[in-house]
A and B are shown apart, each in its own frame.
Chain A
Amino acid sequence: MAADGNMKPAKKLSLKENYAMLTRGLDWEPTYQKKEDIFRMIDFEGIKIHDWDKWEDPFRLTMDAYWKYQGEKERKLYAIIDAFQQGNGQFNVTDARYLQALKIFLTGIVELEYASHRGFCMLGREFPGAGPRIAAQMQSIDELRHCTTQIHAISHYSKYFEGMANFPEQFDRVWYLSIPKSFFEDACTSGPFEFIVAISFAFEYVLTNLAFMPWMSGAAFNGDMSTVSFGFSAQSDEARHMTLGIEVIKFLLEQDPANVALVQKWIDKWFWRGYRLLALLATMMDYVLPKRVMSWGEAWTIYYEENGGALFADLARYGIKPPKYADVTIKEKGRVSHEMWSVFYANRDAVNFSTWLPSEEEMAWFSEKYPDTFDKYYRPRFEHWRQLEKEGKPFTCKCLPQLCQVCQWPCLYTEPDDATEFLHRETEYKGETFHFCSDGCKDIFADEPEKYVHAWLPVNQIYQGNCFLPGVDPTAPDFNPLVEALKYMGLKPGVDGGLLKDSIDAQRWEQWTSRPANIHEGAYTDFVRKTTNG
């Protein structure tokens, strides 16, 4: 330090210098405890890191800047949510059909933000470098933000519509919600390096636009001011997270050539797992949104084939190849949403949202967007089902489907090269047979069978009589596992699921708004007819 009387003006620091100074030498160099006792999780996966300092925190945000920046965004967001609530904005969305998308969102996606928050928090504790730790903590609290603000953006809808009120319990219990739940639990129960490749790179970087497009653009297209405001507010957070995703992958690949094979394995696994998770969004995008943004097929072409193609071309210099089975995703892009909407329609009494069949006009749209597949494979099916509805005996599935041991979708996808043939793979492990929806999922199981034998498969659990509320006697002669399972999942017959036209939400919607509950079908009730005729 300068001696007295020798004081030059203080040096001005640039933002970058300021950040470097404030965090300079902050990190821990333990001497009283062994480093491996403090950071216990960093070795078991086999990733080799020689210099943690090469991984700088890409956000370079000091906390004062973070608080101010985020605080300002929160002020704006809550001003909009308040105005939305005060102005009964829930009635400004397109129709009651759009609300079915919000049910999937609140029960299936919000908890993923929460899981991501906890997962990144573990990394924020376990990474031995200050830069990576701080970056992970920043992302962790951002994800907490997303979970919180999504709940706040949607809670008002839950006051007027069914199917959203017990979202945390349903996330734990509803059979198809084990698809998103198992996805994130798979990541969080992995090691820290696999987690960050899975979530930051494979999900946030490669696939995030495919998740944002159906939800946030879908909200914008359908007049959902509350949800789309969340989307705008989260955009800059997401941009930071994507930056982390690409930086981390380059860091891992540059640290040691031996990392390449492991990273490739995780990219293959998590691309496939993420892709299967997105089938939920594909279905929503094509079938649920009353006003569509684009088709799933188009989205996959732009956001995976084109953008992802450029990304993997760029990573080729590290020895990274495009994900295994990427070709299958392209073969499936004209089929996924139609096949999975069929699954939901057939099992509509056991889900927390209502379903319907596409109208003539919608089917014409599908024919145009999916010229190679829709008329050939799916139009006849939907026309047949519509006929059955007209005859008053709509098609339903009488038993629950076989689930894939890895992604937990029903095994009702079709062969990559034959859309008329259901795809089914199985394998034997320790004397037991396990079932898969695809080669991708079968490979994932084969690599870590001990992990996946523990998967909590809802259908298997229901048939084993494990899904019932306290006080129910599974040995009683009239015990019906399916009926009890619905209660366990918090699904009320006649309120949740079923056909939209019969649903209480649709009736209330038309009563309250005098507008059709499904803009593609016209009025279901006299509430709309009266107004439009009179």
Chain B
Amino acid sequence: MTVEIRTTGVKPIRNAFTHLEKRFGDKNATRYQESAYDIQPLVNFHYKPLWEPDRDLYDVRRTAVVMKDWYALKDPRQYYYGAYTITRSKQQDALDRQLDFVEKRDLLRSLPLAARQQLVTALIALRHYEFGANMNNSHMAAYGFGTIFTQAAMMNCMDRLGMAQHLSRIGLLTDGNTGESLTEGKRQWMDEAAWQGVRRETERLFVTRDWFELHVAQNLVADGLVYPLFYQQFDAAFAAQNGSALSSLTDYLMRWYDETNRWVEAIVKTAATESAENATLISGWTTKWRDAWVAALQPIASQILGDKGTSALDAVTTAFNTRAGKLGLKL
């Protein structure tokens, strides 16, 4: 048996906005589609930006990549603001339980001094890497073309601030909320030789203006090496010596990374598949930045993983190359 409720029989005169009907036919649109497609103005711009008078406010010429339809760059997660914040808040609830577990039992504070020092060296400096990624994604969201890409970049930008704060929390759990680990992490980031390659390359991203290149360099290449190196390779080595307390907190970063990669890869793959010119361009960027980042990561890999550093970085690089190949890139 079913229970029937009769409602007013008025039929809609259309099922979707005109711009969505053109793309998907006259059927109900999803909330993602309503939020993401064709929102950014396209024509009849009024003024020359004082900060870039030879371009329009929104301008396809801010990247060398060429797309027939910029709205092909969709996010497989279909995040609009509501879906995004609700997902993140649920994940944060789960993470809070982990943090609480570690805090109550002093799991990081009670590690041996050498292990805590190692943890600070390997992970706390990465707060600044994340904050750099925050600024770079802000650049993509500000100067990118097409709401469908820029809104996802905006969410990624905020995610990176969240990751920087999560790493700070790991520091505070290690130093008992004194903040000493944060100060020490910053000192190492600024002064220790092993970190300087990473810092130098991050600063080089700050002066990379082509927003699509920046997406490739930051979100595909740099993250594609940094995340597995620190949160898998280092994490596994650290856990072998010190148990899995730290892994229960880095797991969040890896889960975020896996989820975000679906978006990162979809963007790269779609653009690279669009034309041979795009594929060549993006392959070139990927190779250039991969070589720079692998070289930059070598010293810190050796510092935190000792004689296993090189083989760990090699493994990460090989996995990255395979991944890039699957996206249609030739390195």
Residue numbers of A with Cβ under 8 A of B are 1-4, 7-13, 21-33, 37-38, 40-41, 44, 62-64, 66-68, 70-72, 74-75, 77-78, 87-88, 91, 111, 114-115, 117-118, 121-122, 124-125, 130, 133-134, 137-138, 140-141, 144-145, 147-149, 151-152, 155, 158-162, 164-169, 171-173, 178, 181-182, 185-186, 188-191, 451-452, 454-456, 458, 461, 490, 508, 512
Contacts and interface: CB of A to CB of B under 8 A. Distances in A.
A186 B207 CA distance: 26
A85 B173 CA distance: 47
B35 A152 contact: yes
Given A21-B177, A21-B182, A147 B39 contact: yes
A512 B92 CA distance: 46
Contact of A182 (B19, B43, B46, B50): B46
A23 B311 CA distance: 34
Nearest to A451: B47
A25 B154 contact: no
Nearest 6 CB-CB pairs, A to B?
A71-B89, A63-B162, A159-B12, A166-B18, A74-B82, A67-B88
B259 interface: no
Given A24-B182, A147-B39, 10 more contacts: A2-B176, A8-B176, A11-B176, A30-B206, A159-B12, A162-B13, A165-B18, A172-B41, A189-B50, A461-B44
Nearest to A21: B179
A178 B46 CA distance: 9
12 contacts: A11-B176, A22-B164, A23-B168, A27-B131, A28-B206, A33-B204, A62-B165, A75-B86, A121-B141, A137-B157, A141-B155, A189-B48
B14 A172 contact: no
A185 B47 contact: yes
Contacts of B48: 189, 451, 454
B73 to A, nearest CB: 16
Contacts of A75: 86
A22 B165 contact: yes
Interface in B155-189: 155, 157-159, 161-162, 164-165, 168-169, 172-184, 186
B47 A455 contact: yes
B162 A151 contact: no
B47 A168 contact: no
Interface in B1-25: 7-8, 10, 12-19, 21
A67 to B, nearest CB: 4
A189 B165 contact: no
Contact of A114 (B40, B47, B51, B158): B40
Contacts of A115: 41
Contacts of B141: 118, 121, 140
Interface centre among A67, A115, A178 (most CB of B within 10 A): A67
Contact of A38 (B29, B199, B203): B203
A63 B138 contact: no
Contacts of B17: 155, 158, 164-167
Contacts, number: 281
B46 to A, nearest CB: 5
Interface in B77-92: 80-82, 85-90, 92
A29 B111 CA distance: 31
Interface string B56-98: 0110000000000000000000001110011111101101100
Contact of A25 (B109, B174, B182): B182
B135 interface: yes
Interface string B108-148: 01101100110010000001100110110011011100010
Contacts of B150: 118, 121
Contacts of A137: 134, 138, 157-158, 161
A181 B175 contact: no
Contacts of B110: 7
Nearest to A86: B7
Given A30-B206, A159-B12, A169-B19, A1 B175 contact: yes
Nearest to A466: B44
A32 B172 contact: no
B19 A26 contact: no
Contacts of A121: 138, 141-142, 150, 154, 157
